[in-house]
Structure 1
């Protein structure tokens, strides 16, 4: 039996097939289409035709896609969201959608209401939940919203009120209006958690179209027996049903797929991974085989959130980055010819000088027709190459947590532009299949589950709290498609809350397991 992994990038869509021993059988790379869906279908069709594998022997299919990210950035295909915040009057001074971009507010509808409810930091109720008040709000919104976000003050400590409101919402609005509860989406911090929950609710239609399109593409290729998964942004997978509930978890899954694929190809568990595409270069950190997560609040489409995100540094440097000579010197990027590199770069007969042309001119790469860059002045090429070297070295330095030299894994179709002998790098690992590392990462991933909550150790011991968090993380992994017997603990993070008088601690637990 075989697995298929597909990853959609800004420039290329890659597809690979691997066997039961996780060995690469075949990989393809095609330009990403404007509508993305067409590119997925074409990549899937091409890899199936060229590998000549019987569609009935495909047991699993995985997709890593940028569609949710694109929808937020472009403000397209998003649902009209209703927001219920449980915390009136304590939180009335800062309303939902505060500091949001105006065009995003207009797209989502700015429908919100503050009602009684929420908790103090010690678990005591702020105010009691008012059933009549909540149901009146829901009745008022019936037929006017397409998705609902429920946000309770300190619901990361106690979330029973959020779940109660969700139950009333299902009764009044119907099952056709999906509900997102903030305690299952974001972390500590009311506004950032609320923002993440609103975005998750807004992505409902996008994920429905994406998942339905993926299933149709598989059916059209005769792949009818495969379990389908979508990639999460921690380098693991989730079932399509789980992805429809938490579409926000697909944001930034591209870089994490590359990191996991790089780990597989280089056989390293700790390294910095440099994924060079056509437009940007993404740097991430492999920590014990998984992408390191960011500890900071992250902006998505101009909106500050605190849901789980990989620790990624992106710079405007790729194979298609445009090179210019100015009065102040040579610049490389951040603008790029992107997926048009095969028609616009000099080596392919175009008229734009790109980073790829520089690598070919200096004999560092062999693509296209090197005669077409012979007229590029050698001095200009060397200055541009030095600029590329400086940009990469600076980015690597930002990702390091110590002064020592690091292991670097180079992947991505644009890796041919990266100079050798980089400052701060002990060894640079390159693999012939590095160009499709992101699709490989998608195809080899496991299923994960994560749970985060504030526990008060004076009321529930550390051991009991840890056991409870493990059980709930395992339940999340099973919902996402993991086999119960294979689930194992991979990460525990404890953060004491200094202002709490009773030894409260934010506990985050992550588990992984094999897919069904």
Structure 2
């Protein structure tokens, strides 16, 4: 049996699934304000006694920590790129309060390049060392972003080694090549927020391990609809952003057997409308966290206020906006206030209210696989064939899932996409792969 828990702002839901992913027991308890670990403990106590071999937890509090500027690490922001990377300064456009709460200092140093070794500028190691030395006692974490790290992350890793020599191995370092998309600013923002969440997620990981106890494998949800272990959460704190909603979407798929659908998660004050594609959340193309554009993999969502004379109209409009270009997908209604959503909405052909939908987030946490993704840019030439590049990104995705806690013997690559990038020279492609599998047994 697998246990799933979702910690929400008002209630914490729990569910135990059989090996066939059928709900065996469920519970709903009030959340403890500001204390997700205590909420998990209370939810576990509300379940019947059962073998606790794997516990997966969905969390919504990481984004709240950023919104409230609570418990965040002070981050040194290092950009590698030289003059070409100086057009827009680091943290440009951030809300002033969040920037002040997070930033310990910024620097842009020489380095970076292109597809070939001849195009690369050597990393200014002296400038990196000087930047690190200047942050001693002021920074809890460092975020490193190289202009061309989606092609080659070697200079980011080289800079990380220098920073550890200057500041010690205890300082947390986030690398953009392990986290974000192609765009420099979104990838840099992603890396900075990841580093800023280092302290609250470290405390959270310790608390969950102590609260759950025993020998159970402990996992948390991530924004792409998969799970990761606590060690991976420590290494990549930002990957938990959006994990609560992603788990709810996965739960809607588990409860209905539908891989493609629009989902309405009805809460106490609002309804979150999102979509399932091949059983996983449809990913946002222009995600923002606390007003900052980011490149985290997280669900595309429309939020609709509950109540008022236009509530049902606004919900129907949001569902319509989430529909694909062709065809009409059914609407799955879940969440604690699902009963308040009517059985018919204008323009919605089919509405399902599945049994146990009130705890869909917990069911999704319990039924999701451990996952990983990989993304890179390749320029094809006589030396670099497409098949070799595809094989490499598949292996990177598989390795990412294993690092997240998947059983290496059972990981499967489920999706590989290739997107031409016409604004770059020669035949240049963005390759993306997704892999997943069950958790590695302890």
Question: C-alpha distance in 2, partners of 1:254/1:181?
Answer: 24
Describe the SS at the equivalent of 1:390: helix
Aligned match for 2:397, one of 462, 468, 473: 473
Task: Supply the distance in 1 between the matched residues of 2:34 and 2:327 (Cα, whole angstroms).
Answer: 44
- Tell me, what secondary structure is at the counterpart of 1:297? coil
TM-fit CA distance, 1:30: 1.7
Partner deviation per Cα, 1:193-244 (whole Å, 9 max, x = no partner): 101100000000010111111112112xxxx010000111111100100011
Report how far residue 259 of structure 1 moved.
0.9
Q: In structure 2, what is the equivalent of residue 31 of structure 1?
A: 30
**Residues 454-473 of structure 1: per-residue CA shift (max 9 Å, x gap):** 01122411111100000111
1:418 alignment counterpart: 341
Matched with 1:261 is: 251
- Determine which of 131, 139, 157 is the counterpart of 1:137: 131
Superimposed CA distance per residue, residues 228-275 of structure 1 (whole angstroms, 9 cap, x where no aligned partner): 001111111001000111111111111111111111111111111111
> 432, 438, 442: which one pairs with 1:508?
432
3-state SS of 2:330 partner? strand
Residue in structure 1 matched with residue 49 of structure 2 by the alignment = 52
Q: What does residue 205 of structure 2 align with?
A: 211
> What's the CA shift for 1:11?
2.5
Q: Distance in 1 between matches of 2:118 and 2:184?
A: 17
The answer to whether the Cα contact below 8 Å between 2:266 and 2:335 also exists between their aligned partners in 1 is yes
Kindly tell me: are residues 137 and 501 of structure 1, through their superposed partners in 2, closer, same or farther at Cα, counting changes over 3 Å? same
Unaligned runs of 5+ in 2: none
How far the C-alpha of 1:403 sits from its partner, in A, is 5.3
Deviation at 1:123, TM superposition (A): 6.5
Distance 2:165 2:119 in 1: 25
1:408 aligns with 2:407: no
TM-score by length of 1: 0.82
Q: What pairs up with 1:77-226 in 2 under 5 angstroms?
A: 77-120=71-114, 124-125=118-119, 127-219=121-213, 224-226=214-216
Contact 1:78 1:204 in 2 (8 A): yes
Shift of 1:73: 0.9
Q: CA deviation at 1:109?
A: 3.0
The superposition leaves residues 80-107 of structure 1 with CA deviations (integer Å, 9 ceiling, x where unpaired) of 0011111122222311111111111111
Quote the Cα distance in structure 1 between the aligned partners of 2:339 and 2:375. 41
Structure-2 separation of matches of 1:191 and 1:25: 46
- Say whether the 8 Å CA contact 1:388–1:418 is kept in structure 2: no
C-alpha distance in 2 between matches for 1:301 and 1:497 = 30
Alpha-carbon distance between aligned partners in 2 of 1:205 and 1:23, rounded to the nearest angstrom: 36
Match of 2:229 in 1: 239
Confirm or deny: 8 A CA contact 1:15 1:43 kept in the other structure: yes
| Equivalent-residue separation in structure 2 for 1:402 and 1:208 (angstroms) | 42
Is this contact kept in 2: 1:117–1:125, CA < 8 A? no
For each residue in 1:29-78, what CA deviation from the matched residue of structure 2 results, as whole angstroms up to 9, or x when unmatched?
1222221323222112222xxx133xxx2100111111211111111100
For the Cα contact (< 8 Å) 1:151–1:181, is it kept in 2?
A: yes
TM-score, with length taken from structure 2: 0.96
Residue 81 of structure 2 aligns to a residue whose secondary structure is strand
Question: How large is the Cα RMSD of the aligned pairs?
Answer: 1.5
Query: What residue number does 1:463 align with?
Result: 387
- Farther-moved stretch of structure 1 (235-244 vs 210-219): 210-219
Distance 1:225 1:460, change over 3 A: same
Cα deviation for residue 136 of structure 1 reads 2.0
